[in-house]
């Protein structure tokens, strides 16, 4: 297949693009900074420069392709959610997706599928009740962002594309993301759960997320919302206890919720609230997770040679 990936140089995009190329696909990556791309990515894909906001020569890369994967978006947890930061998060997701769909509408030969990133933040803070793809959205900032993000992607359905909205949970990998930050205090014997501790953590091993994307590309009956999480959601307390066990460290020093609110403001809700999300559509469709439970996933990442 000919596949274009927007946002293909980050924590998820880089290994996804390498995997797609290894499986024989021709991959083109739309990148804001092609010169800064990792050498392993440069050797595997075609890099095309774009800014994610304006039309340009990059549009030609979409003509005649089979699939478009949109992973674009400013990192959600890189700073306090000020008014300016919220606007940047919206534009990098909602605005960029709108630009891509508008470009698709002008093509004479369109892709057959759009896989558009979203997040389980769509559901808003929840209690311990399991959440499937049929659940309604929440009402906080992140839920509203995801709703508008997905609405822009769904406009491609009118163009004849199969649209898949991939609601991604906490992605676990060895070289970035949340896990890299969480392991640091544990290594210094200062690890512990983020209060209140009973909030749910819906996670997925990065290799399973990559596999889920490839599975969706290959199965033409899969469309709509798909929860990108493992079937083994755990509470924050259990997550940290398991992380400590894998690292051979105690999980004894809770992080106070009030301290997080003072430091991070509204952003702290990403850590102090959660959702017990289930990958119902993936399981019904026959997708097999390599890492369905947390401890094997953490061992595979943290004990890798």
* Structural tokens at position 163: 């649209």
Verify cis geometry, omega within 30 degrees of 0, for the bond prior to 196: yes
Q: What is the CA radius of gyration of the chain?
A: 19
More confident of the two residues 39 and 52: 52
- Report domain 2-170+206-227's class: alpha beta
3-state helix, strand, coil in the chain (%, to 5): 45, 20, 40
Rounded distance, CA 74 to CA 92, Å?
Answer: 6
Rounded distance, CA 197 to CA 239, Å?
Answer: 9
Q: What is the average pLDDT across 74-87?
A: 92
Bridge partners (DSSP) listed for residue 131:
277
Which residue, among 103, 116, 104, has the nearest Cα to 69 in the 3D structure? 116
pLDDT digits (tens, 9 = 90+) for 129-170: 999 999 999 999 999 999 999 999 999 999 999 999 999 999
Bridge partners (DSSP) listed for residue 255:
194
Model-wide pTM > 0.85 = yes
pLDDT digits (tens, 9 = 90+) for 246-258: 999 999 888 998 8
> What band does 305 get if pLDDT is binned at 50, 70 and 90?
very low
pLDDT digits (tens, 9 = 90+) for 164-205: 999 999 999 988 888 888 898 998 898 999 999 999 999 999
Which residue, among 275, 246, 294, 256, has the nearest Cα to 124 in the 3D structure? 275
Boundaries of every domain in the chain: 2-170+206-227
Q: What is the pLDDT at residue 175?
A: 86
Q: Are 304 and 176 in contact (CB under 8 A)?
A: no
Q: What is the average pLDDT across 88-96?
A: 97
* Structural tokens at position 37: 């791309």
Q: What is the pLDDT at residue 304?
A: 56
Rounded distance, CA 146 to CA 137, Å?
Answer: 9
* Structural tokens at position 215: 């599975």
Distances, alpha carbon 271 to alpha carbons 1, 83, 198, 228, in Å: 38, 20, 11, 18
Rounded distance, CA 99 to CA 103, Å?
Answer: 6
């Amino acid at each position: 297949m000919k596949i274009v990936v927007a946002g293909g140089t980050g924590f998820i995009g880089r290994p996804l693009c390498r995997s797609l190329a290894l499986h024989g696909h021709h991959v083109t990556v739309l990148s804001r900074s092609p010169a800064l791309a990792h050498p392993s990515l440069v050797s595997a894909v075609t890099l095309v420069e774009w800014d994610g906001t304006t039309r340009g020569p990059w549009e030609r890369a979409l003509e005649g392709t089979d699939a478009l994967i949109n992973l674009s978006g400013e990192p959600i947890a890189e700073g306090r959610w000020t008014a300016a930061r919220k606007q940047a998060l919206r534009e990098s997701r909602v605005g960029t997706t709108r630009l891509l769909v508008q470009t698709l509408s002008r093509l004479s030969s369109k892709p057959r599928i759009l896989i558009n990133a979203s997040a389980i933040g769509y559901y808003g803070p929840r209690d311990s009740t399991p959440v499937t793809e049929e659940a309604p959205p929440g009402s906080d900032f992140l839920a509203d962002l995801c709703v508008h993000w997905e609405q822009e992607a769904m406009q491609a359905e009118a163009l004849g594309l199969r649209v898949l909205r991939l609601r991604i949970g906490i992605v676990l990998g060895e070289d970035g993301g949340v896990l890299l930050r969480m392991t640091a205090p544990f290594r210094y014997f200062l690890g512990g759960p983020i209060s209140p501790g009973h909030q749910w953590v819906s996670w997925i091993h990065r290799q399973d997320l990559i596999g889920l994307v490839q599975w969706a590309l290959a199965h033409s009956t899969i469309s709509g919302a798909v929860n990108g999480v493992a079937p083994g959601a755990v509470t924050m307390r259990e997550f940290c206890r398991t992380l400590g066990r894998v690292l051979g460290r105690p999980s004894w020093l809770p992080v106070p919720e009030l301290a997080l609110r003072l430091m991070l403001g509204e952003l702290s809700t990403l850590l102090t609230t959660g959702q017990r999300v289930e990958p119902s559509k993936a399981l019904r469709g026959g997708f097999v997770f390599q890492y369905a439970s947390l401890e094997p996933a953490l061992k595979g990442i943290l004990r890798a040679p």
